Amino acid sequence: MASLKDLRIRITSVQSTKKITSAMKMVAASKLRRAQEAAEQARPYAQRMEGMLGNLAAGSVGQDGAPRLLAGTGKDDSHLVIVMTANRGLCGGFNTNIIRSARALIRDLQAQGKSFKIYTVGRKSRDNMKRDFADHMVGHFDEFGRTVSSFSEAEHVAQAVTSMFDAGDFDVCTLVYANFISAITQEVTRQQVIPFPVPEVADGEDAGAGGGYEYEPSDTEILTDLLPRNLAIQIFRALLENGASEQGARMSAMDSATRNAGEMIDKLKTTYNRTRQAQITTELIEIISGAEAL
Amino acid sequence: MADTIQLDLVSPAKRLMSGSVGMVVVPGIEGYFGVLPSHMPLLSTLRPGVVSVHDGVNDAPAKQFFVDGGFAEVNPEGCTLLVDEAIAVDELTADDIAKRRTAAEERAQSAATDEDRAAAEKALVIVDEMARAMSEAAP
């Protein structure tokens, strides 16, 4: 049985933990608001970009001389997996879920006998991937904003990826990140970015989608401009979605930690009071029986 | 025939404008072009310049944005401008432009590769256009 002093010490320590977790929850909540706003503001651009590219690509896919970012290298032997996580922990299952999904993807690739490379974004991703796949790591980036990422950070990653692609280091590139749905729900997403996944167009619509447009300067020139841009945009969106998801996950993790600490304090207090009362009773009995003996 | 067209002006960071307008004049790579309702479908790259939003064809521009490049898509649903960065023309300041100019010039000086130099030159063109946009806007 713990002594009263031990119990008191434990109660104070749990109380200060509770203070910390509830402060972290509050910080995460205010960061979440900003991050969520940024992620939502970025969505229209990324979606329209995809739409525009889809229209354009539907017309020129299969043509000779289509840019390689669109057509691919013609094989899919070698994959680049971009694993995006947060820089910091204490955000529930956020990092773990992303890493689990990335590992599953890598295992699939291994089972199919494909070679793979890993580019990590975020410190947690690097630390985890280094354990098993240190030989496959080709790059790392973690200097993104604490709350909201800027576009130049995404461009930095996109440039690294493009130069690897141009050097023929891989054929297919996939992003693994968490899509922000709400503060309590984040969905781990795998998105193929190279080659650009051309939306399936029904035969009847084909002419309407690709053929009706007038191009200035020309469709191939726009395409060569648009494709690298789209890569940066998709990475940017993933960064922002990830940022919002991280704060959301941290907020709910800290919320339940605060609640748990509260419950624990209640339990400890009950034990503390019971012990105290038992002690008083014992003391009284001792005094009374001492007095009776006289 | 509808007499307004849906315009969406978005940059990677945010949606700058979304609404129905009478006409929009866009700095296309091969020259400025106006987009009116029922314009034929068009895809164009943009060069640095000013996007003017008009309520009616003959009205003075209701709003002007400086954009530093991007893409325009016109389809029956409306006109979408995807730009890298857009600043409302009346928010351009001489200080800001001067700062950007020094940054761009420094970059041009220190450029080591052809790519760097091209990027720096592009930045300078943007600054020039920005200055012009500001001087034209200020009477």
Q: What is the CATH number of the domain that holds A99?
A: 3.40.1380.10
What letter does residue B39 receive in the DSSP assignment? P
Bridge partners for B66 per DSSP? B50, B87
Residue A204 confidence class, pLDDT cut points 50, 70, 90: very low
Q: What pLDDT does residue A179 have? A: 92
pLDDT tens for A9-18 read: 999 999 999 9
Distances (CA, A) of B102 to B89, B97, B131, B136: 20, 9, 13, 22
Q: How many domains does chain A have?
A: 2
DSSP codes of every residue in A214-274: EEES-HHHHHHHHHHHHHHHHHHHHHHHHHHHHHHHHHHHHHHHHHHHHHHHHHHHHHHHH
Q: Is residue A34 a part of any domain in this protein? A: no
Residues A263 and A196 in one domain: no
pLDDT at position A228 over 90: no
Say if residues A236 and B12 touch (Cβ distance below 8 Å): yes
The answer on pLDDT for B22 being more than 70 is yes
Residue A56 CA to chain centroid, in angstroms? 30
Give mean pLDDT, residues A157-186: 89
Using a CB-CB distance cutoff of 8 angstroms, which residues of chain A are in contact with residue B27?
none
Q: Does residue A32 lie in a domain region?
A: no
Q: Which of B53, B51, B43 is nearest to B20 (CA)?
A: B53
Of A46, A225, A233, nearest to B45 by CB-CB distance is A225
Q: Spell out the residues 6+ positions from residue A288 whose beta carbon is closer than 8 angstroms to its own.
A: none
Q: Is A240 on the interface with B (CB under 8 A)?
A: no
Residue B23, beta-bridge partner list? B54
Contact of A111 with A103, CB cutoff 8 Å: no
A118-127, A253-262, B100-109: least confidently modelled range: B100-109
The reported pLDDT for the residue numbered A279 is: 93
ipTM score assigned to the predicted complex? 0.77
Q: Could you tell me if A195 and A262 lie in one domain? A: no
Please tell me whether residues A163 and A55 are part of one structural domain: yes
Percent above pLDDT 90 for chain A:
45
Asked whether residue A111 falls in the same domain as residue A169, the answer is yes
Mean pLDDT value of segment B91-117: 83
The pLDDT-based confidence of A7 (bands split at 50, 70, 90) is very high
What per-residue confidence (pLDDT) applies to A61? Answer: 58
A31 found inside a domain: no
Mean pLDDT of A212-235: 83
Interface test with B, best of A34, A50, A213 (most B CBs within 10 A): A213
Nearest to A28 by CA among A107, A118, A97, A90: A90
C-alpha A153/C-alpha A144 separation (Å) is 6
Question: Do residue A225 and residue B10 have CB atoms under 8 angstroms apart?
Answer: no
B82–A contact, CB cutoff 8 A:
yes
Other Cβ atoms closer than 10 A to A56: 26
Q: Does residue A277 have a pLDDT over 90?
A: yes
Say whether both A204 and A129 belong to one domain: yes
Does residue A166 sit in the same domain as residue A229?
Answer: yes
Among candidates B15, B29, B40 on the partner chain, residue whose Cβ is nearest the Cβ of A214: B40
Q: Quick one: pLDDT at residue A88?
A: 87
Q: Residue A45, class by beta-carbon neighbours within 10 Å (0-12 exposed, 13-18 middle, 19+ buried)?
A: buried
CB A141 within 8 A of CB A151: no
- Does a structural domain hold residue A96? yes
What is the band of A208 on the pLDDT scale with cuts at 50, 70, 90? very low
Whether A209 and chain B come into contact, CB under 8 Å, resolves to: no
- What's the order of all strands across the beta sheet hosting A137-141? A137-141, A115-121, A78-84, A172-180, A186-194
Q: A289 lies in which domain range?
A: 4-24+253-293
> What is the mean predicted confidence (pLDDT) over B51-70?
85
Once rounded to an integer, what is the mean pLDDT over residues B81-93? 85
Whether A29 is covered by a domain: the verdict is no
Take residue B127 and report the two structure tokens written for it. Answer: 């600054």
String of DSSP letters for B90-110: GG--HHHHHHHHHHHHHHHHH
Q: Which two tokens stand for residue A130?
A: 């280094």
Does the pTM of the predicted model rise above 0.95? no
Q: Which two tokens stand for residue B103?
A: 């940054």
DSSP-derived pairing of the beta strands B5-10 and B15-21: antiparallel
> Is residue A35 a part of any domain in this protein?
no
Token pair of B19 as six digits = 């609404």
- Give the residue-averaged pLDDT of A146-160: 84
Q: Would you say residue A124 lies in a domain?
A: yes
- Which whole number is the average pLDDT over A97-120? 92
Pair A94, A196 in one domain: yes
Residues A118, A17, single domain; the answer is: no
Residues A156 and A269 in one domain: no
**A143 and A265: one domain?**
no
pLDDT digits (tens, 9 = 90+) for B29-43: 888 988 888 888 888
What is the DSSP code (8-state) at residue B76?
Answer: T
For residue A59, what pLDDT is reported? Answer: 67
CATH of the domain at A267: 1.10.287.80
Residue A269 has pLDDT above 90, yes or no: yes
pLDDT at residue number A107: 92
Q: Which residue of B has its CA nearest to A210?
A: B41
Q: What is the DSSP string of A166-209?
A: HTTS-SEEEEEEEEE-SSS-EEEEEEEEES--PPP--HHHHIII
Residues of chain A with Cβ-Cβ distance to B30 below 8 Å are 216-217
Confidence of residue A257 (pLDDT cuts 50, 70, 90): very high
- CA distance to partner chain A, nearest, from residue B14 (Å): 4
C-alpha to C-alpha distance for A6 and A12, rounded to whole angstroms: 10
Between CA B59 and CA B85 the distance in angstroms is 26
Give tens-digit pLDDT for A13-53. 999 999 999 999 999 999 999 999 888 888 888 888 888 88
A133 assigned to some structural domain: yes
- SS3 (DSSP) at A101: helix
Q: Is the pLDDT of residue A177 over 60?
A: yes
Instruction: Look over chain A and give the mean of its residue pLDDT values, rounded to a whole number.
Output: 86
- What is the identity of the amino acid at A120? T
Residue A38 in contact with partner chain B when CB distance is under 8 A:
yes
Name which of B76, B73, B36 is nearest A55 in CA terms.
Answer: B73
CB B51 within 8 A of CB B72: no
Please check whether residues A121 and A261 belong to one and the same domain.
no
Q: Does A211 touch chain B (CB under 8 A)?
A: no
- The residue that leads in pLDDT, A20 or A77, is A20
| pLDDT tens sequence across B119-139 | 888 888 888 888 888 787 765
Whether residues A157 and A230 share a domain: the answer is yes
